[in-house]
Chains A and B, each alone.
Chain A
Amino acid sequence: MTIHQPLEQRLRRALDVTAQTQVPDEQPVPTAPWASGDIAHRGANRRWLVPLAAIGVTAVVVGIIVASAVRAPTPPSSPNTPPTRTDGLIPGVPTTPAAAGPGPVTLAGADLVVPDGWRAEYSPDRLSGPYTWCLGPQSSCPVMFHRYSPGSTGPVPERPVRGGDMYNVCQQTSPNPLVLKQAHSAILGRRHADYRMWTIECPGGTRTIAQYVISDPPAFELAATTTATGTRLASILAEMDAIAASARLPPTPTGLRLYDQGQVRSARATGDGFDIVLWRYSGSAVRDWVREDIVTPYHIPRSLLPREYTTRRLVGERLIVLTNGADVTQVIVPGG
């Protein structure tokens, strides 16, 4: 190309100023079209996009809210004060946590032991809903404890994307991927949970994210996100493991998991859909899935699957199933 520095500099500046003026950094990212329902107007005619849209809504909302660090509009007057409003609260669940520590505390119906030198600080926000507490030394929050409620504004406990429900963990844009380090079954509060750990290279250094997630209602999450390394990281993870081991969570009723993923082991057509048995896989991205020794029956209404699906087509298929605790509400066919 012909080099003519003054013109090129002027050209670059003109383009930069125009782009930046038209689309300033502060302009919020709108809801993804697949999450807003607008996708139908853009030529989509695939019914399986509906569950993906629902996932997208959650993901984008979570991402935007995390990015903005927006707090609930009516935060409690003190960190340990329970919510005074009733929206988003689960009927029957205590809203007066003994949020202190160290020692035993009861948080949203769950008994936990806060490690020595740590405290539990009530920390609700629009991201995680009203049942969220920070666990850690004074003025830091390396571990978060959260209770989910079906149908609440909180995120789905698991998500088929890298990072689970941890978005913008760098607190700014990072071109680096989350790298899955561990994914296996675990115990949280005497209940079966999924444990996942990722690392990501953020501009400020390596960040580690670890999660215990229980997707069966009542669903809980115990998660750590930290830039600590070495013995300090090991200490935080050890404390989280100790909390998980010593916790006692409300028992699960007979409800379905809020989220499940796995391979269809068998399928039978019924009047309005299919009865399937799903062989559970743990992991995050599909390529990381690891089969567990857990099978669960589900009834899937035909309306939740692409039309071409038959029992033969279903068997062996990998599915992600979302429920409201009683019924399957969404089915995602990864790669479908």
Chain B
Amino acid sequence: MIRYPTRPSLPLTAETDPDDTSEVDVDGIYRSQWHTMVRLAVLLVHDLPSAEDAVQDAFVALHRNHTRLDDPGAAIGYLRIAVINRCRSLIRRRAVARRHIAAIGMNADAAAPEADTAIDEQMMAAIRTLPRRTQEVIVLRYWADLSETQIADALGVSTGTVKSTASRGLARLREMLGDAP
């Protein structure tokens, strides 16, 4: 049985090989990156079917455009941006539903889940209330282990924006979760 990495840090960061100027192996990337990209998407859209759809769309885009990539080694970076963009589109289309989910997630009267998952649900519910870009920064920073520069590239913002967004996001989470510094 093939084993995929449980942590995405390697595939998500091993995107540039300066010695590799050959063609993009889209099929190989599809097989090796599918889990990682769906995980990224599901953390952004909070819904597996939508995440899978976003990832499939992103792979289709890579499949169509990989020959136009100036740097074949940047294919995974391209793919990640495509996934993020499609997640944004999904979120925009589901704005009402997202607000609804966020409201439910922050309902203090919600039934308490089992202890082992309680922290997870509480944290995820808090994350879902954050602004979209803050969620993206948080996920790319604390799940994908990307550097501030990589996050800035992926989101098309400055590193300063990444820093301030992450800081505000953490502060907001701390505030909501009662975890004072």
Contacts and interface: CB of A to CB of B under 8 A. Distances in A.
Interface of A: 1-2, 4, 6-8, 10-20, 22-23, 25-27, 29-30, 32-34, 38-39, 42-44, 46, 49, 52, 56, 59-60, 63-64, 67-69, 161-163, 167-168, 171-175, 177, 285-288, 334-336
18 contacts: A1-B141, A7-B170, A14-B123, A14-B124, A15-B127, A18-B43, A20-B39, A30-B56, A33-B60, A34-B59, A46-B64, A67-B31, A162-B22, A162-B23, A174-B32, A175-B32, A177-B20, A287-B21
A326 to B, nearest CB: 27
A1 B181 contact: no
A64 B20 CA distance: 25
B84 to A, nearest CB: 15
B173 A11 contact: yes
B60 A23 contact: no
Given A29-B35, A32-B27, A175-B11, A1 B163 contact: yes
Question: Looking at chain B, what size class is its interface with the partner chain?
Answer: 35 or more
B103 interface: no
B71 interface: no
B166 interface: yes
A112 B119 CA distance: 64
A281 to B, nearest CB: 14
B170 A8 contact: yes
Nearest to A177: B20
The 9 A-B residue pairs with the shortest CB-CB distance in the complex, in nearest-first order: A67-B2, A14-B123, A19-B39, A15-B143, A335-B67, A59-B27, A175-B14, A29-B34, A285-B23
Contacts of A42: 56-57, 60
B138 interface: yes
B5 A173 contact: yes
Contact of A25 (B6, B14, B43): B6
B28 interface: yes
A18 B120 CA distance: 7
A110 B181 CA distance: 74
Contacts of B10: 175
Contacts of B23: 161-162, 285-287, 334
Given A33-B59, A42-B56, A67-B31, A172 B139 contact: no
B135 to A, nearest CB: 10
Contact of A2 (B25, B27, B124, B181): B181
A6 B179 CA distance: 9
Nearest to B181: A4
Contacts, number: 173
A17 B171 CA distance: 22
B124 A334 contact: no
B35 A168 contact: no
B28 A161 contact: yes
A7 B28 CA distance: 36
Main secondary structure of the interface of B (DSSP, over half): helix
A39 B143 CA distance: 30
Contacts of A14: 119-120, 123-124, 127
A16 to B, nearest CB: 7
Contacts of A63: 27-28, 31
A172 B2 contact: yes
B59 to A, nearest CB: 6
A19 B167 contact: no
Contacts of B163: 1
B115 to A, nearest CB: 13
Interface string B47-75: 01001100011011001100100000000
Contact of A173 (B22, B32, B52, B174): B32
B27 A161 contact: yes
B100 interface: no
B143 A29 contact: no
A69 B2 CA distance: 9
A249 to B, nearest CB: 29
B30 A32 contact: yes
Nearest to A15: B143
Contacts of B22: 162, 177, 285, 287-288
B10 to A, nearest CB: 6
Interface in B120-135: 120, 123-124, 127
B3 A25 contact: yes
Given A11-B142, A27-B35, A175-B11, A4 B120 contact: no
B1 interface: yes
Contact of B170 (A2, A161, A174): A2
Nearest to B165: A1
Contacts of A17: 117, 120
Contacts of B166: 1
